[in-house]
Structure 1
Amino acid sequence: MTSTIPPSAPSPVLVAPQRSVPGSSWRYRVVWRWHFYAGLLTAPVLLVMAITGAIYLFKTPFENWRYADVRALPAPVASALPLSGQIQAALAARPGAKLDSVIPAQAPDRTTRVILAGGDPSNPWAPGISVYVHPGTGEVLGQIDDSATFMRVVRTIHGELMAGVAGDRVVETAACWSLILVATGVYLWWRGPARRRLPRSAWRPLRRGRLRRIHAVTGIVAGVVLVFLVLSGLPWSGFWGDNLSKFQASVGSTMPDSATFARESVPAKDLTANPDAAVPWAAEQLPVPASGHEGHGGGTAAGGWPYPGSITAERALAAATPEAGGCAPPGCELSVLPPAGPKGVYTVVATDAEDPALGRTVLVDQYSGKVLVDYGWEEYGVLAKAVEQGIALHEGRRYGTVNMLVMLGACLAMITLVVSGAWMWWKRRPRGRLAAPARSTDRRTAYGVLAVMAVLGVLFPLAGITMVAVLLLDWLVIRRIPRLNALVG
Structure 2
Amino acid sequence: MPAPPTETRPPPPAGRRWRSLLRAGHRWFGLAGALWLILMSLTGSAIVFYGELDRWLNPDLWTVPASEVAAPLDRAVERAGEALPGFAPRFIDLPDAPDDAVMMTGTVAQDGAAARSVQVFTDPRDGTVLGWRFFETVAFDRRHLMTMLYDLHLDLMLGPAMTWFLGLVALLWIADHAAALVLAFPVAAKWQASFRVGGPRGSLRRLFDLHRAKGVWLFPVTLVLAVSSLALTWHEEVRWAARLVVPVSERLHLSFPDRPAEAHAMRPPVGIDAALAVAGTRSGARIDSIVVLSRKGVYGVRAFDERDMDGYGRLWIYVSMQDGAILGQRHDRGEGPGDAFFAWQYPLHSGKGLGLPGRIVVLVAGLATVALCVTGLWLWWRRR
- TM-score, normalized by the shorter chain, greater than 0.5: yes
Q: Which residue is 2:267 aligned to?
A: 306
Q: Which moved more, 1:204-213 or 1:243-252?
A: 243-252
Deviation at 1:62, TM superposition (A): 1.1
Secondary structure of residue in 2 paired with 1:41? helix
SS of corresponding position for 1:143: strand
Percent of pairs with identical residues: 25
| Equivalences for residues 162-311 of structure 1 within 5 A | 162-191=157-186, 197=193, 202=198, 204-237=200-233, 240-245=234-239, 252-253=247-248, 283=251, 286-289=254-257, 304-307=265-268, 310-311=269-270
Counterparts in 2 of 1:81 and 1:207: CA distance versus 1, 3 Å: same
Equivalent runs, 1:29-40 vs 2, <5 Å: 29-40=20-31
Contact 2:211 2:375 in 1 (8 A): yes
Partner-residue secondary structure (3-state), 1:409: helix
Distance 1:111 1:425, change over 3 A: same
Q: CA deviation at 1:22?
A: 8.4
Q: Does 1:135 align with 2:90?
A: no
Give matches, 1:361-380, under 5 Å: 361-377=316-332, 379-380=334-335
Deviation of 1:53 after TM superposition, in Å, equals 1.3
What aligned pairs does 1:49-448 form with structure 2 within 5 A after superposition? 49-76=40-67, 78-119=68-109, 127-148=116-137, 149-191=144-186, 197=193, 202=198, 204-237=200-233, 240-245=234-239, 252-253=247-248, 283=251, 286-289=254-257, 304-307=265-268, 310-324=269-283, 326=285, 328=286, 333-337=288-292, 339-340=294-295, 344-350=297-303, 354-355=309-310, 359-377=314-332, 379-429=334-384
Asked if the contact 1:289–1:372 (Cα under 8 Å) also holds between the matched residues in 2, the reply is no
Structure 1's 180 and 105: CA in aligned 2 closer, same or farther, altered over 3 A? closer
Can you give the 5+ residue segments of structure 1 that lack an aligned partner in the other structure? 1-18, 121-125, 256-282, 292-297, 430-489
Larger radius of gyration: 1
Would you say the 8 A contact 2:199–2:206 is kept in 1? yes
**CA deviation vs aligned residue, 1:186-245 (integer Å, no higher than 9, x gap):** 2222226995756976275121111111111111111121111111221111xx322223
Q: Residues 417 and 254 from structure 1, CA distance in 2 versus in 1: closer, same or farther, beyond 3 angstroms?
A: closer
Q: Aligned partners of 1:212, 1:74: CA distance in 2, in Å?
A: 55
Partner of 1:266: none
Change over 3 Å in CA distance of 1:53–1:415 after alignment to 2: same
Question: Which residue identity does 1:306 align to in structure 2?
Answer: R
Verify the 8 A CA contact 1:161 1:171 in the aligned structure 2.
no
AA partner of residue 207 (structure 1):
S
Give the counterpart letter for 1:139 in structure 2: T
| Structure 2 spans left out of the alignment, 5+ residues | 1-9, 138-143
1:68-96 Cα offsets, whole Å, 9 max, x none, are 212211232x4322221221111111223
Contact 1:91 1:99 in 2 (8 A): no
Q: Is contact 1:361–1:375 with CA below 8 Å preserved after alignment?
A: yes
Q: Which range moved further: 45-54 or 78-87?
A: 78-87
- Decide whether aligned partners of structure 1 residues 299 and 290 sit closer, same or farther in structure 2, where only a CA change above 3 A counts: closer
* TM-aligned CA deviation for residue 320 of structure 1: 1.2
CA shift at 1:109, angstroms?
1.9
Give the whole-Å Cα distance in 2 for the aligned partners of 1:203 and 1:322: 66
When normalised by structure 2's length, the TM-score is 0.82
Whichever residue aligns with residue 94 of structure 1, its letter is L
- TM superposition shift of 1:135: 2.2
State whether residues 31 and 184 of structure 1, in contact with CA within 8 Å, keep that contact through their aligned partners in structure 2.
yes
Is the 1:43–1:418 contact (alpha carbons within 8 Å) kept by the matching residues of 2? yes
Take 1:164 and 1:95, find their aligned partners in 2: how far apart are those partners? 25
Secondary structure of the residue that 2:185 maps to in structure 1?
A: helix
Residue 302 of structure 2 aligns to which amino acid in structure 1?
A: V
SS at match of 2:319: strand
TM-score when normalising by structure 1: 0.65
Contact 1:101–1:335 (Cα < 8 Å) also in 2: yes
CA contact (8 A) 1:51 1:411 kept: yes
* More displaced 10-residue stretch of structure 1: 154-163 or 413-422: 154-163
Query: 8 Å contact 1:52–1:157 — kept in the other structure?
Result: yes
Equivalent AA in structure 2 for residue 63 of structure 1:
D
The amino acid of 2:226's aligned partner reads V
Cα drift, residue 381 of structure 1: 3.1
For residue 206 of structure 1, what is the amino acid of its counterpart? G
Question: Shift of residue 395 of structure 1?
Answer: 0.5
